[in-house]
Amino acid sequence: SSQLTQPPSVSVSPGQKVTISCSGDALRDTETAWYQQRPGQSPLLVIYQTNKRPSGIPERISGSKSGTIATLTISETQAVDEADYYCQAWDGTTHVLFGGGTKLSVL
């Protein structure tokens, strides 16, 4: 079955750049979205259509994709960026897929 694979955790020092990967065959043919989820909160859309930012999301958060790998990049990482991040795509055109999530630690 289709699935999206993310690293369970990544860590970064404040002010540095961090990337979170998401891989899966489904990514070859569909757009990708990314969500940030802080503890006890609902997910927040931070990237849609692979590389677009919703209003209010800082420019230091960006998205890209190459083949079957999508990447979320946070430049100049801040303490407020510490959260779980989930990628999301579609299996075909209608079924939604979520990645397993990546816990970002800002150390």
Partner 1 sequence: QITLKESGPTLVKPTQTLTLTCTLSGVSLSSGPVGVGWVRQAPGKALEWLAVIYWDDDYRYNPNLKSRLAVIRDPSKNQVILTVTNVDPMDTGTYFCAHEPYYYHASGYYSVAFDVWGQGTWVTVSS
Residues that bind partner 1 (CB under 8 A): 1, 31, 33, 35, 37, 42-45, 48-49, 54, 86, 88, 90, 93-101
- As measured in angstroms, the least distance from the Cβ of 82 to partner 1 is 17
The residues, ordered by sequence, that sit 6+ positions from 34 with a Cβ below 8 Å of its Cβ are 22, 45, 46, 47, 63, 70, 72, 85, 86, 87, 88
Nearer to partner 1, 79 or 96 (CB): 96
Cβ 97 to partner 1, closest distance in Å?
Answer: 7
Q: How far is CA 28 from CA 31, 51, 67, 80, 84, in A?
A: 8, 15, 5, 31, 24
Tell me how many degrees the CA angle 90-94-91 measures, rounded to the nearest 5. 35
Nearer to partner 1, 55 or 66 (CB): 55
C-beta of 23 vs 88, nearer to partner 1: 88
**How far apart are CB 38 and partner 1 at their closest, in Å?**
12
- As measured in angstroms, the least distance from the Cβ of 17 to partner 1 is 24
- How many CA atoms, within 13 angstroms, populate the side-chain half-sphere of residue 20? 36
Q: Measured from the CB atom, is 6 or 17 closer to partner 1?
A: 6
